[in-house]
Amino acid sequence: MRASVLSDWLAQRIERGSGQPVYRQLHWLLQQAILSRELPAGARVPSSRLLAAELGIARNTVTQVYEQLVLEGYVTSATGRGTYVADTSPDEIVGAAEIGSLRARKNTMEFGSAPEAQARLAPTQAQRTAARALSTRGARLIAGAGVSKRQGGAFMPGVPDVSRFPARIWTRLHNKYWRSLRPDLLTYAPGGGLALLRHVLADYLRTSRSVRCSPEQIIITTGIHQSVDLAVRLLSDPGDTIWTEDPCYWGVRSVMQVSGLKPRPIAVDSEGINPSPADFAAAPPKLILVTPSHQYPLGMVMSLARRRMLLEYARQHQCWIIEDDYDSEFRYGSRPLASLQGLDTAGQVIYVGSFGKTLFPGLRVGYLVAPEPLAESFATASAELYREGQLLQQAVLAEFIAEGHFTSHIRKMRALYGQRRQVLLDAVVRRYGDALPAMGGDAGLHVVMQLPEGSDDRAVAEAALARNIVVRPLSGYYSERERAASGLLIGYACVPDEEIAPAFEMLAEAIDASLPAFA
């Protein structure tokens, strides 16, 4: 394109009443003319004064566009010499396919106005992005992802009632630190996290969970996922085998997959993880991941005999056990059970926990208790990999625990959740009797309603979602759908008492619509 033709071409494509600033339209159109080689390298563009006069716009607008194009490398400019299109020959290597496709469309200058051209280019960009396929493990992660777009409402499992969080107390403690702010709380966290939080947490875990630990063994993380990820990175290599419960929490299963480990799903029974003779005969795993105090998602407690067996097996074969102490504080009708780590005499259990369910999920504070010989390595690795901060948040949490507010809050919520659990169980029995039993209801924040063998629990969950009810299909937690049990995870913690029965009736409509036998 000759410079003399450029003004006419631009005038035809700039839309004065489109709502898009003339500056942006002019900038984009000149970019495309240069990228498509319609304005070839070395071509001189009209002066800002001339182009402004021919387009009927302010000269300052053209000047700003030229200055921006200079910064972006599209043109070069020198006082007294004019403005010229820069040599963009490297694009022939990195963008040859795109430029070729642009030229194949008769003429780039026929695309139309700037807004229209942007809309027409969008599919090309999307196609180019889609062509860059995910890696094998990336595709596997996305295919198995269980995260939901809905993060609350009846009956979302695993979501606590954040409306009952003692925000006034938290705010008072938070403001106390802001009024006399220490600069060291605004920088990166030291390896392992804030010392004060590690001390109060060690005291709490020793008394409430029978965990054997010193403050130096505690590593503050952002939650269970990061704790497990850190342990996996330090204690295993890609290709190593890990035993996981089957079914198990999809989130940690995803961590295993992207870490390059080979999961060996181990079935659970009423006593927890239950390795078969074939499992014992196979090469021992490097890691064993279990939820002994409250199996997720089925809810059973690992028996003492099974715990001792697992610890002995790990000792003999030098395996590491990762104990996810999920929902251990919320046990109804009995005291919380002691941790598996408290029985460990060989230093082979890595204990992980979180404040997401006991306080609020958005807090994003968890912890890991490393065996004493590995504690310093875990602290160093945490700082090296994640460069943690949030020290102000950690300081507030430390005081919240030290002043007794944490245990008081758990005690209140345990009573509240126990009451809601009973309301839900009553609703289940009232509607279905013992035809669809609920299990795992003596602890945690959800129950599992069993569906008849062969039922499509995913279809039931979809039908429920259409009625604005959120439940999770049990089959999604199994490693293989062919041997998965059918059921629904029904969370009750975040549903007010008076809304549980009406919400369950809506869920029952979805069940009846999907399972003709109950209609």
Sheet with 75-78, strands from edge to edge, namely: 44-45, 82-85, 75-78
Same domain as 342, residue 216: yes
Residue 155, preceding peptide bond in cis (omega within 30° of 0): yes
Question: Worst-scoring range by mean pLDDT, 138-142, 164-168, 333-337?
Answer: 333-337
Does 119 have pLDDT greater than 80? Answer: no
According to the model, what pLDDT value does residue 189 have? Answer: 86
Residue 141 lies in a domain: no
Residues 363 and 413 in one domain: no
Q: In the structure, what pLDDT confidence band is assigned to residue 10 with cuts at 50, 70 and 90?
A: confident
Mean pLDDT of 414-443: 92
Reply yes or no on whether the pLDDT at 160 is more than 50: yes
pLDDT higher for 146 or 99? 146
Question: Does the structure show a pLDDT above 90 at 99?
Answer: no
Structure confidence at residue 366 (pLDDT)? 96
Write the secondary structure of 456-472 as one string of H (helix), E (strand) and C (coil). CHHHHHHHHHHCCCCCE
Residue with structure tokens 């074939």? 278
Contacts of 416-423 with C-beta under 8 Å, sequence gap 24+, read 416/161, 416/164, 417/161, 417/330, 417/332, 417/445, 417/492, 417/493, 418/332, 418/333, 419/497, 420/492, 420/493, 420/495, 420/497, 420/500, 421/332, 421/447, 421/492, 423/492, 423/497, 423/500, 423/501
Q: How far apart are CA 31 and CA 58, in angstroms?
A: 20
The answer to whether 311 touches 318, Cβ cutoff 8 Å, is no
Structure confidence at residue 110 as a pLDDT band (50, 70, 90): very low
**Do 103 and 241 share a domain, yes or no?**
no
Number of folded domains in the chain? Answer: 3
The predicted pLDDT at position 38 comes to 85
Query: How much is the pLDDT for 516?
Result: 73
Are residues 39 and 170 both part of a single domain? no
Residue 60, in any domain of the structure: yes
9 in any annotated domain: yes
Q: Which residues form the domain of 29?
A: 3-131
Other C-beta atoms closer than 10 Å to the C-beta of 107 total 11
Same domain, 396 and 413: no
Q: Which of 83-97, 259-273, 328-342 has the lowest mean pLDDT?
A: 83-97
Domain CATH number, residue 492:
3.90.1150.10
pLDDT at 1: 62
Q: Name the domain boundary from 381, 403, 425.
A: 403
Q: Which residue has the higher pLDDT, 519 or 203?
A: 203
Check: CB of residue 388 under 8 Å from CB of residue 336.
no
Is the confidence at residue 147, as pLDDT, over 80?
no
**Model confidence at 117: pLDDT above 70:** no
Over residues 39-57, mean pLDDT: 89
pLDDT given for residue 253 in this prediction: 84
Task: Say whether both 295 and 327 belong to one domain.
Answer: yes
Whichever domain contains 65, its CATH number is 1.10.10.10
State whether 217 and 361 are in the same domain.
yes
With 60 as the cut, is the pLDDT of residue 124 above it? no
| Mean confidence (pLDDT) of the chain | 88
229 lies in the same domain as 359: yes
Read off the amino acid at residue 467: R
Give the domain-ending residue among 383, 403, 423: 403
Residue 310: what are its φ and ψ, rounded to 5°?
-65, -45
**Are residues 202 and 327 located together in one domain of the fold?**
yes
Is 156 among the domain residues?
no
pLDDT at residue 289 tops 70: yes
The sign of the torsion formed by the CA atoms of 150, 153, 155, 156 equals positive
In a domain, 46, yes or no: yes
* Strand-pair category, 241-246 with 287-290: parallel
In a domain, 136, yes or no: no
Question: Residue 111's pLDDT is what?
Answer: 41
Q: Which among 403, 433, 465 is the end of a domain?
A: 403
Q: Is the pLDDT of residue 108 over 60?
A: no
Is residue 197 within 8 A of residue 398, CB to CB? The reply is yes
In a shared domain, residues 399 and 413: no
Pairing of strands 287-290, 320-324: parallel
pLDDT on residue 148: 65
Instruction: Give yes or no: residues 123 and 248 share one domain.
Output: no
| Residue of 78 and 430 predicted with greater confidence | 430
pLDDT higher than threshold 60 for residue 109:
no
Give 455-509 pLDDT, tens digit per residue: 999 999 999 999 999 999 999 999 988 889 999 999 999 999 999 999 999 999 9
**Angstrom distance (rounded) from CA 349 to CA 335:** 23
364 and 245 in a common domain = yes
Asked whether the beta carbons of 405 and 169 are under 8 A apart, the reply is: yes
Which of 315, 297, 304 is CA-nearest to residue 244? 297
Residue 42 in this model has a pLDDT that exceeds 90: no
151 assigned to some structural domain? no
User: For a pLDDT cut of 90, what percent of the chain falls above it?
Assistant: 62
137 within domain boundaries: no
Question: What's the whole-model pTM score?
Answer: 0.78
pLDDT bin (cut points 50, 70, 90) of residue 107 is: very low
Q: How many residues does the chain have?
A: 519
Q: Which of 236, 350, 345, 252 is nearest to 286 (CA)?
A: 236
Contact 92, 99 (CB under 8 A): yes
The helix (H) or strand (E) run that includes residue 487 is strand 487-491
- The three-point CA angle 80-81-84 to 5° equals 140
Q: What is the mean pLDDT of residues 337-351?
A: 94
- Domain holding 177: CATH number? 3.40.640.10
